[in-house]
Structure 1
Amino acid sequence: MTTRQPVLRLRAGRAARRPDSLAVEEPLMVRVGGEAVTLTMRTPGHDFDLIAGWLVSEGSVAVPGDIVTMRMCKDEDNTVEVSLAPAAVPPRPRAFATSSACGVCGADSIEAVRTAMRWPVAGDDTQSDVGILSGLPDLLRSEQKLFDRTGGLHAAGLFTATGQPLVVREDVGRHNAVDKVVGSALRAGLLPLRGHVLQVSGRASFELVHKAAAAGIPVMAAVSAPSSLAVELAEDCGITLLGFVRGGGMNVYTHQERVRVGPIPRQRELT
């Protein structure tokens, strides 16, 4: 998951040569029923979780039994062969590679992405205290072991509404980290993820909200900003979307009813 690279380190007017740790980025080919369906760039590790989560977001699988087998191909490096149950919906093959920065490339339309959502979350009455939610980035960061070594990985974590961590995954791609979390939950038989919170280390993009909705997650929190399309999708799907969750504060963009707050002091009006 990491590799060493010699670098010239320049600091405070001094130069030194030293090895540096880098996050590995390699391609992963996914074959379903013998047909290549996608080629994605990822950080090796938890590859089966990654594929399972991707299949959830594609609307192909919903329960562990939908995936009959997953195995690494012996004659092809970085290739996984997947066999789906007859009841599962085979994913639409991608005509090109998916980068580590984009999780919905190749979708015919936003509407096509929305139709892949199996579990409505609008009726999920989960609530969480603002103090718990504001502490999730620190909990996530404490589990980022590879980031400590490389400084170059995104992370996603699944938490209960009371702040208990269930699974944390890291990857060079934001959407890969989320897929690995969702895939782990699928393989453990936990979907839909009602009553849970998804915390991500970066911004909240459209594809990440889509993946949260596909897994039935009612609350998604990001350290950085959401995009306008992410907010629109979260509003439509009934997801509580939080941004700028850091320093004890946050912005609540949609479905504020799930965030429990104490009395908020009235701000003095500027004169």
Structure 2
Amino acid sequence: MKEGHSVINVSILKSTGGQLVEVEDKVVAEDPLEIIIKHGRKGSRSSFPLAVTMRTHGEDHELALGFLFTENVIQKRSDVSSIQQLSADQILVQLNADIFFNEAEMHRNVYTSSSCGVCGKASIDRVTMAIPYVLKRTQPKVSTRCISQWPDVLRKRQSMFEKTGGIHAVGLFRQTNLLTLREDVGRHNAMDKLIGAALSDQTLPLDECAVLVSGRASFELVQKALMAGVPILAAVGAPSSLAIDLASAHNMTLIGFLRKEHFNIYCGAERILRH
């Protein structure tokens, strides 16, 4: 039985003290969302199935906008004339007539899994898109004390994690203030939702803010954060080698293993105040 659209109640057997007891548990809902693009001049518009992502229901419009922005399909909210939820698992994004969309280049009709993001891209060059913003090498400044507070602040606001223990979160911080929080079964979806919200609010670039992700820091999460002009990306888990390389190449501060008073700085230490 569904609790809203994001959480499902299921009957399980729980082992306690050697005894099996039937109880009700809450799990995160995971459903496909197909993102369809409609583009072209009036009278010759075409529909193109861009991607399928496994996501948690909620903020589908933000997810679609953020995905299109980080995939370099659009540069601003006004590039989209309308967004229509065709069904629970299908969304149609209408591009303005003057927006060029190359179906041949984008023709991958990917299966985007909740664990790994967009899979099957042709090459690293395809993933490393033109980053629209140049980060200021030393700004903003954030203290180690401030950074250490982020995980607790994020956790206290994670309503779905509190219910299920099985969902990722991405938080946008300015110093210790949590400005935006998005949750999803997929890390990359949560990031796209957050960026989509910023795109809708016309607050890009996010060059005075930091982003905290609840899992590891993958190459794709760094790429998405750079697309939004994020200068500091922190993760509760570990970064990958490609994530470090990409962050370093674009003067991003990358933090991993953020747990209370302990964390590692992999690059961009000049933004961190040592107190």
Q: TM-score, normalised by structure 1?
A: 0.91
Paired residue for 1:43? Answer: 56
Quote the Cα distance in structure 2 between the aligned partners of 1:61 and 1:127. 30
Report the Cα distance in structure 2 between the residues aligned to 1:179 and 1:136, rounded to whole angstroms.
Answer: 20
Name 1:180's counterpart in structure 2: 193
User: 3-state DSSP class of the match of 1:97?
Assistant: strand
The one-letter code matched in structure 2 to 1:29 is E
Contact 1:124 1:194 in 2 (8 A): no
1:159 equivalent in alignment to 2:164: no
Q: Which residue of 1 aligns with 2:43?
A: none
Decide which of 23, 26, 40 is 1:21's aligned counterpart: 26
The structural deviation recorded for 1:124 is 5.9
Partner residue, 2:44: none
Q: How does 1:108-127 map to 2 (within 5 A)?
A: 108-123=122-137, 125-127=139-141
* Bigger mean CA offset, 204-213 vs 82-91: 82-91
- Residues 95 and 106 in structure 1, CA contact (< 8 A), matched pair in contact too: no
Q: Does 1:98 align with 2:112?
A: yes
Partner SS for 1:229: helix
Which of 127, 130, 149 is matched with 2:163 structurally?
Answer: 149
Relative distance call for 1:66 and 1:124 in structure 2 (3 A) is farther
**Structure with more strand by fraction:** 2
Instruction: Give the Cα–Cα distance (whole angstroms) in 1 for the partners of residues 119 and 138 of structure 2.
Output: 29
Q: Distance in 1 between matches of 2:68 and 2:167?
A: 22
2: CA distance, partners of 1:63 / 1:123:
25
Of residues 114-123 and 211-220 in structure 1, the stretch that sits farther from structure 2 once superposed is 114-123
Among 77, 85, 97, the alignment partner of 2:96 is 85
Distance 1:125-1:153 versus aligned 2 partners, 3 A rule:
same
Deviations 1:21-77 (A, max 9, x none): 11000000111002111111000101111111111110122222122111111xx44
RMSD: 1.5
One-letter amino acid of the counterpart of residue 238, structure 1: N
Matched, 1:257 2:270: yes
Q: Which moved more, 1:53-62 or 1:88-97?
A: 88-97
* Closer/same/farther in 2, CA of residues 145 and 256 from structure 1, 3 Å limit: same
Asked if structure 1 preserves the Cα contact closer than 8 Å seen for 2:55 and 2:189, the reply is yes
Cα deviations by residue, 1:92-139 (Å, 9 ceiling, x for unpaired): 243331111122323322223223321122546211111111111111
- Listed one character per residue, the Cα deviations across residues 71-95 of structure 1 (whole Å, up to 9, x for unaligned) are 111xx44110001124545372433
Q: Which residue of 2 aligns with 1:230?
A: 243
Residues 1:196 and 2:209 aligned together: yes
Q: Percent identity?
A: 39
Give the distance between the partners of 1:39 and 1:106, measured in 2 at CA: 13
C-alpha distance in 1 between matches for 2:128 and 2:246: 8
Match of 2:222 among 209, 223, 229: 209
Distance 1:77 1:189 in 2: 27
1:54 matched residue in structure 2 = 67
TM-score, structure 2 as length reference: 0.90
Q: Of 255, 258, 263, which residue of structure 2 is paired with 1:242? A: 255
AA matched with 1:243: G
C-alpha separation between the residues in 1 aligned to 2:217 and 2:193?
A: 17
1:2 aligns with 2:15: no
**CA distance in 2 between partners of 1:89 and 1:136 (Å):** 40
Please say if residues 168 and 185 of structure 2, whose CA atoms lie closer than 8 Å, have aligned partners that are also in contact.
yes
Asked if the contact 1:240–1:256 (Cα under 8 Å) also holds between the matched residues in 2, the reply is yes
CA distance in 1, matches of 2:138, 2:79: 25
| C-alpha distance in structure 1 between counterparts of 2:135 and 2:61, whole Å | 26
CA distance in 2 between counterparts of 1:244 and 1:169 reads 20
- Structure 2 gaps of 5+ residues are 1-5, 39-46
TM superposition shift of 1:238: 1.2
